[in-house]
């Protein structure tokens, strides 16, 4: 059983517990549920950097990355540095995140925010909306084509954009649905944890131009971003490279300045 399957199985129990504690009506009545959302696809299309900076305390592949910085501090740092958007991990067991992190990030910046989560039920999409997200992540490896369509259409009805994550060509083929805004290629092999941007390069020509292309995982150099741009990628989701630094604002700012120059 690979790590993604383990996480998805754990998520079923976790979501069932939250549903028993917080009814959908309570989510729909939250202050943030009716806020006007921000478009990350527009930001990426207009940006000279395309950086989506991520808040991530730990991960199954790297264990602890950085648990010393507050969400608010990191969020403000990313916005000041010029990031296009922000990704917030909300999984607790494997990544040390929470929905509270999402609320704190929303209160600390005016960037479009992606809820980075392992979504297996519609309830989690309503949660994302109620906690201030602008974008949700759907992972093709744990969802059927029918679920991808169902979840993405619900997200669009809530004015949430959708980033659909793939690892290979088979996952891409079941994900070409009009209600998807962005196709994200995860460069990490979930069985070995090895990372290679060649995965993004290989899949880039197979992704129709209707979708904004985003490359995820293993991006730690300006050279990699420049290289991936030549393959049509507009977005670059970077977390570990920035988060492992004690001064994420300086690190992110210098990275983006190099890109722009």
The set of catalytic residues is 54, 56, 116, 165, 186, 216-217
Which spans in 48-191 are helix H? 71-81, 99-108, 122-130, 145-157, 169-173
Query: CB neighbours of 231 closer than 8 A, spacing ≥ 6?
Result: 200, 201, 204, 205, 213
Cα 168 from Cα 165, distance rounded (Å)? 10
Nearest residue to 217 (alpha-carbon basis) of 245, 239, 249: 239
Please state, in angstroms and as integers, the Cα–Cα distance from residue 41 to each residue in 101, 137, 190, 214, following that order. 23, 13, 27, 10
Cα 56 from Cα 77, distance rounded (Å)? 14
Cα 179 from Cα 32, distance rounded (Å)? 23
Phi and psi at residue 50, in whole multiples of 5°? Answer: 75, 15
């Amino acid at each position: 059983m690979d790590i993604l399957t383990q996480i998805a199985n754990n998520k079923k129990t976790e979501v069932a517990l939250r549903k028993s504690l917080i009814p959908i009506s309570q989510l729909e009545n939250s202050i943030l549920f009716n806020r006007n959302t921000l478009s990350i696809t527009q930001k990426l299309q207009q940006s000279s950097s395309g950086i989506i900076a991520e808040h991530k305390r730990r991960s199954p592949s790297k264990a602890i990355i950085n648990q010393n910085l507050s969400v608010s501090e990191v969020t403000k740092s990313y916005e000041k540095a010029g990031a296009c958007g922000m990704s917030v991990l909300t999984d607790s067991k494997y990544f040390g995140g929470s929905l509270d992190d999402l609320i704190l990030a929303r209160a600390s910046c005016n960037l479009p925010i992606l809820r980075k989560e392992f979504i297996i039920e519609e309830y989690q999409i309503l949660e994302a909306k109620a906690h201030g997200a602008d974008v949700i992540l759907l992972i093709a490896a744990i969802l059927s084509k029918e679920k991808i369509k169902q979840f993405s259409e619900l997200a669009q009805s809530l004015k949430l954009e959708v980033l659909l994550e793939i690892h290979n060509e088979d996952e891409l083929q079941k994900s070409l649905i009009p209600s998807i805004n962005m196709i994200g290629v995860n460069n990490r092999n979930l069985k070995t944890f090895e990372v290679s941007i060649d995965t993004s390069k290989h899949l880039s020509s197979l992704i129709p131009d209707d979708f904004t292309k985003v490359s995820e995982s293993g991006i730690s150099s300006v050279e990699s971003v420049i290289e991936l741009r030549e393959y049509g990628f507009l977005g670059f989701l970077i977390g570990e490279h920035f988060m492992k630094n004690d001064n994420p604002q300086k690190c992110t700012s210098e990275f983006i300045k190099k890109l722009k120059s």
